[in-house]
Amino acid sequence: MADSAYHYIEEMYGKELNDKEKYNKSLVVAQYEKCISEGRAHLLTWLVSLIVFSAIAVIAFILYAYRQYKQRAEWKIQREQEKREMEEKMYEEEMHHKEIQLSTMRSYLLKKINIAQRIEKIRGNKKNIVVLTEEDWEEIKMFVDNVEGNFISRLKKRYPKLSDEDIKFMILIRLKMSSKAMGLIYNISEKSIRQKLFVYKSKVGLEGKNSPSLRSFIEAF
């Protein structure tokens, strides 16, 4: 009887210990789950904060980039406008300068046309003696040098020993003046002009039987 009571008490005590152990385990599990839940909540809060911060940073960067782009665009537009205004101003100045040059050139060409007409008149002149002043010669020289690719300058450079009178004679040849017209200018006979043509060959190094005529050489020079 005593053994049965002791055994009963022992079972009751063991059961109570088991219940306490289960209770303690349940408390530990509950506490663990609570910690996990709180940790997840904290992590979620941190993630949300990070996302919000990142979104704000992205928006701020986009706004900054847009402002920079807008400033560059405005600066570019301003520079282009200034460039256009400068180009327009330069164009107007260039047109004004060209108008002055054209006006000067028109006056110059009118004089050259007058000289050319005078030369043509000389070519067809058969009787009268033609007198060309130094001013006429200067205009003829300028006309020939401009129209004939710096003929006089090239001639002087290649044959520096030619005198001014030699150059004048070569100019008339370059203008394809006939011997008769040249005789009228120099007030000598056509035969004398032909003799001068032969003599002048040596001045430009045209010597020998096979050398070209002075006329063909000067016209092709």
CA dihedral 124, 125, 131, 137 (to 10 degrees): 10
How far apart, in whole angstroms, are the C-alpha atoms of residue 213 and residue 198?
A: 8
Residue 159, pLDDT > 80, answer yes
Residue 3, pLDDT > 70, answer no
pLDDT tens by residue, 124-155: 655 555 566 788 788 778 877 877 778 898 99
How far apart, in whole angstroms, are the C-alpha atoms of residue 143 and residue 165?
A: 17
**pLDDT more than 90, % of the chain:** 2
Whether 194 is in a domain gets the answer yes
Whether 26 is in a domain gets the answer no
Whether 45 is in a domain gets the answer no
What DSSP string runs through 152-194?
Answer: HHHHHHH-TT--HHHHHHHHHHHTT--HHHHHHHHTS-HHHHH
Whether 159 is in a domain gets the answer yes
Whether 172 is in a domain gets the answer yes
Residue 221, pLDDT > 50, answer yes
- Residue 112: band (very low, low, confident or very high) from pLDDT cuts 50, 70, 90: low
CB 206 within 8 A of CB 170: no
Both tokens assigned to 59: 């928006």
Average pLDDT value over all residues in the chain? 75
For the stretch 49-53, contacts whose Cβ atoms lie closer than 8 Å and that sit 24 or more positions apart, written own/partner, are: none
How far apart, in whole angstroms, are the C-alpha atoms of residue 177 and residue 119?
A: 8
In this structure, is the dihedral angle defined by the CA atoms of residues 170, 175, 181 and 185, taken in order, positive or negative?
A: negative
What letter does residue 209 receive in the DSSP assignment?
Answer: T
How far apart, in whole angstroms, are the C-alpha atoms of residue 33 and residue 46?
A: 20
pLDDT tens by residue, 30-75: 666 666 666 676 777 777 777 888 888 888 888 888 888 888 888 8
How far apart, in whole angstroms, are the C-alpha atoms of residue 201 and residue 214?
A: 6
Whether 58 is in a domain gets the answer no
Whether 156 is in a domain gets the answer yes
How many structural domains are present in the chain? Answer: 1
Instruction: Report, as an integer, the average pLDDT of 95-109.
Output: 55
CA dihedral 37, 38, 43, 49 (to 10 degrees): 130
Domain of 122 in residue numbering reads as 86-220
Whether 18 is in a domain gets the answer no
